Amino acid sequence: MRLPLVTPSGPPGPWTRPSRFDRNLIVIGGGAAGLVSAYIAAAVKAKVTLVEKGRMGGDCLNYGCVPSKALIRAARAAEDVRQAGAYGIGAGKPKVAFDKVMARVRDVIARIEPHDSVERYEGLGVEVLQGHARLVDPWTVEVTLKDGGTQRLTSRAIVLATGAAPVIPPVRGIDNVHPLTSDSLWDAMDGRRHPPARLVVLGGGPIGCELSQAFQRLGSQVTQVEMEHRLLVREDPEVSAHVETVLTRQGVRVLTGSRAEGFGVEHGEKWIEVADAAGTRRIGFDEIVVATGRAARTEGFGLEELGIAAGKVIETDAYLETLHPSIFVAGDAAGPYQFTHAAAHQAWFAAVNALFGGLKRFRANYRALPAVTFTDPEVARVGMTEAEARDAAIGVDVTRYNLAELDRAIVDGAADGFVKVLTRRGGDRIVGATIVGPHAGELLAEFTLAMKHGIGLNKLLGTVHAYPTLAEANKYAAGAWRRANVNPTLLSLLERFHSWRRG
């Protein structure tokens, strides 16, 4: 007999909790969040099934981090050819074989693919099903298998790691110009001998800035349109200004404070209508990439039927649990941070809470979560910006060190950027660090470690950094903080001590 379920820890619903389950965990989605959730479950000997409807590895491997970073690497090679004259090497206009650039992008994906493959995960003890998963009730998942047939599975817990998809803003006429997104861009560019001659990039966030610079360097004339008054709005204004200056210097036409009002095609030419403070104008283009944000995939897998609310993300509590105590969410689907490392980080909380929540639960913690924009120079940050510290009413001291002073940066001809550290007023505890510069993403790791483990700037300053490295910038930033925070009484005492020692 099926009884309506009412449990003290769950919402009422017309579902019967099975008396036994054939699995401990079902994970829906084989991107970063799903793979790590499944791996953790298998590592602790739980019986776990991972269901992926598309390509294993999800967005990061197939449409996101990996292809974009491979494209950026090729774009840097082109820029190196352009800038070689500065090092006494014959420079010139790079000859970009765009089809070969895209072939390398494909090759890079293929070389990383085995890390996320069905074979690898089965070898780790995860059962992998390739098909579309749908929630039937809080413990049952129906899988429509790719090679035909359906399978019903029951599990004590489920992790939704279903990711996010690009959002196309509802601007008049946008469908008529067939906008590309990060999902469609790679296939659309594959095999082309030339990059689009005139490319519009809609959006001034990290993805928009990375793609704008890469395509400009590979030979497109890029127009980047952003309705906010600056690029990278989550960063401090000086960071936005720095990136805008660099992009503009490299030829990108950056239009901030500019809203896309409409799209159309006239005499075979596509156009975008852009409105800014000066009025409205039309700009012709050949291709457009929309990078205006990504929202959780929410349709077609049973969320509504189970009453799970979802908008830009699927709603969870601090433990990544939905209103159903058996269903958890991780990664882009849970948000708010749309990074691969955030997805992997959340996966630990979702999997552990799903498997052991009855014994102990862990709140997902994002305090030392790094974020990197892979423009050149890179923008890397951990912790708060100045504006965030101000909003949170946290008094901070701001210390800045310019790469123009750093020997290694001068040697490399890359002395363009800075390290900025926010410390709690009067102490050396790091509240946030931003680095703009070459390899900023790598350099940030030291600050991330420091923040995570409560290591202050004094300890960073007391750590030997090899010469000449870019990492010395972190130590010099700590030194600048130290100099600004020296106790004047102590200094005058020292002066008197040394004067006394001279006799």
Ligand X SMILES: Cc1cc2nc3c(=O)[nH]c(=O)nc-3n(C[C@H](O)[C@H](O)[C@H](O)COP(=O)(O)OP(=O)(O)OC[C@H]3O[C@@H](n4cnc5c(N)ncnc54)[C@H](O)[C@@H]3O)c2cc1C
Q: Give contact residues for ligand X (rule: CB under 6 A).
A: 28-34, 51-54, 58-60, 63-65, 68, 132-133, 161-163, 182, 207, 297, 301, 331-333, 338-341, 343, 374
**Sheet holding 418-424: strands in order across?**
371-373, 378-383, 430-437, 418-424, 396-402
Q: Toward ligand X, which CB reaches closer, 301 or 418?
A: 301
**Tokens 């980080």 map to which residue?**
345
- CA-nearest of 378, 486, 477, 485 to 432 is 477
Q: How far is the CB of 387 from ligand X (least distance, A)?
A: 22
Q: Toward ligand X, which CB reaches closer, 53 or 324?
A: 53
For residue 432, the one-letter residue type is G
What is d(CA 390, CA 337) in angstroms, rounded to the nearest whole number?
A: 21
CB distance 135 to 4 below 8 Å: no
Q: How far is the CB of 8 from ligand X (least distance, A)?
A: 30
What is d(CA 60, CA 178) in angstroms, rounded to the nearest whole number?
A: 23
Q: Toward ligand X, which CB reaches closer, 319 or 337?
A: 337
CB distance 166 to 63 below 8 Å: no
Q: How far is the CB of 37 from ligand X (least distance, A)?
A: 9
Q: Toward ligand X, which CB reaches closer, 53 or 381?
A: 53
Three-state SS at 351: helix
Burial of 11 (0-12, 13-18, 19+ CB in 10 A): middle
Helical ranges in 397-469 per DSSP H: 407-412, 440-452, 457-461
Q: How far is the CB of 501 from ligand X (least distance, A)?
A: 55
Q: How far is the CB of 423 from ligand X (least distance, A)?
A: 26
Q: Toward ligand X, which CB reaches closer, 292 or 402?
A: 292
Instruction: Name the token pair of 264.
Output: 């159309």
Q: Toward ligand X, which CB reaches closer, 264 or 293?
A: 293
Q: How far is the CB of 388 from ligand X (least distance, A)?
A: 20
- Specify the DSSP element, H or E, that contains 187: helix 185-189
Distances in whole angstroms, Cα of residue 294 to Cα of each of 179, 309, 317, 492: 15, 17, 21, 57
Q: How far is the CB of 441 from ligand X (least distance, A)?
A: 9
CB distance 361 to 49 below 8 Å: no
Q: Toward ligand X, which CB reaches closer, 165 or 461?
A: 165
Q: How far is the CB of 324 from ligand X (least distance, A)?
A: 16
Q: Toward ligand X, which CB reaches closer, 112 or 283?
A: 112
- CA-nearest of 376, 403, 84 to 245 is 376
The DSSP annotation for 400-416 comes to EEEGGG-HHHHHHT---
Q: How far is the CB of 379 from ligand X (least distance, A)?
A: 12
Q: Sign of torsion, CA 406 408 410 413?
A: negative
Backbone angles phi, psi at 175, to 5 degrees: -65, -30
Q: Toward ligand X, which CB reaches closer, 338 or 353?
A: 338
Q: How far is the CB of 332 from ligand X (least distance, A)?
A: 4
CB distance 63 to 105 below 8 Å: no
Instruction: Name the token pair of 29.
Output: 């989605």
What is d(CA 72, CA 361) in angstroms, rounded to the nearest whole number?
A: 40
Q: Toward ligand X, which CB reaches closer, 52 or 79?
A: 52
Q: How far is the CB of 36 from ligand X (least distance, A)?
A: 8
Q: How far is the CB of 50 from ligand X (least distance, A)?
A: 9
- CA-nearest of 361, 439, 313 to 33 is 313
Q: What is the bridge-based pairing of β-strands 164-166 and 48-52?
A: unpaired
Q: Toward ligand X, which CB reaches closer, 162 or 423?
A: 162
Q: Toward ligand X, which CB reaches closer, 207 or 460?
A: 207
What is d(CA 236, CA 232) in angstroms, rounded to the nearest whole number?
A: 8
